[in-house]
Amino acid sequence: MKNYLEKLLNKENLNLEEMKDATAYCFSNEVSESELASFLTALRAKGETPEEIAGLVEVVRSESNQTTNILPNVMDNCGTGGDRSYSFNISTTAAFVIAGAGVTIAKHGNRSITSKTGSADVLEHLGVSLSFSKQHVEEMLHDNNIAFLFAPHVHQGMKRFMKVRKDLRIPTIFNLIGPLTNPVDLDSQLLGVYRRDMLPMLAETLHKLGRKRALVINGAGHMDEASLAGENHITLLDQGKITSFTLHPSEVNLPVYDNQQILGGDAKDNAKILLQVLQGKEGPYYDTILLNAGLGIFANGAASSIQEGITKAKESIDSGAALEKLQRLVEYSNKVSSEAM
């Protein structure tokens, strides 16, 4: 570890194998908390590379008790958080719409960290279990096109890192990797990030992690979701090719809304918003989900254009398919809970 720290302090990048080795040390008892803090700080000061992020992610995933590759063409639509927009749970709501459109989605998420309500908070309020086993996740992905993976439950070896991160009180590489550490093997991904300068680098990281298709998005107002407030900056990864473009809601026949019109609240408030959207109540929340779910469907490759993705997202809601995905997940959660008693 000392050699890796010296390289980072000299502004030298670690290659993929070096980063995997360094991360493996961090999971062991051979590295003290002060060394771990120094490692994360040195990485931040130097600036992380796609190889370093990918190396860390590969080890984190390998340490999970739920790593699986049960189905082909599974995606996730988790964002990094950190935009402090205090919006409602956009990616969580969109996940059910994407699943209702026939795309298999392993929704990875956590409790609130920088927002009022995280995906786990709102789903728990709706009755979704946060402690699905690997078998439960596989059954739900196969039978329902959607499962929820609560990050602390599927990454129980990360507690040591979390304590150091909390003590450091500065952003580290872990503020970027949450959406990348999904233990389910993913072919495609919709990844939101609050830092616009990170789009190409995260697209390259997704390529190194084996994604066939992905969209990395920074929304208007620097949201880590697509926004109807104006121009969205997007980077597309498609079979190893990376391109960037912008998207205004008017280009896909959607209205413009200020980000203040999609504010959320506590878990109860956001659960109500989520249900209203899935029930087809039109307005800023509904249109925001059409955009984000449409982008997710396009990122997966289930639509040949963003406009087609939005059309499929609308059909998913209007047909009741999206709401049914949530209802079945809650029913399955109740079944699992009753069997455990």
| Residues of each annotated binding site for Mg(2+) | 91, 224-225
Q: Residue 23: name the closest of 59, 52, 47 by CA.
A: 59
Nearest Cα neighbor of 132 from 93, 278, 123 is 123
Kind of pairing, strands 213-218 and 232-238?
Answer: antiparallel
The CB density around residue 314, as the number of other CB atoms within 10 Å, is 19
Residues facing 248 on adjacent strands: none
- DSSP readout, 85-130? --B--HHHHHHHHHHHTT--EEEEE-S-SSSSS-HHHHHHHHT--S
Binding residues for 5-phospho-alpha-D-ribose 1-diphosphate, as ranges, are 79, 82-83, 87, 89-92, 107-115, 119
Binding-site residues, in ranges, read 79, 82-83, 87, 89-92, 107-115, 119, 165, 224-225
- Which amino acid is residue 130, in one-letter code? L
Nearest to 155 by CA among 176, 180, 135, 182: 182
Q: What is the DSSP letter of 259?
A: G
- CA–CA separation, 316 vs 100, rounded Å? 5
Q: Which residues are annotated as a binding site for anthranilate?
A: 79, 110, 165
How far are the Cα atoms of 153, 173, 191 from residue 294, in angstroms, in the given order? 29, 29, 13
Q: Is 295 exposed, middle or buried (0-12, 13-18, 19+ CB in 10 A)?
A: buried
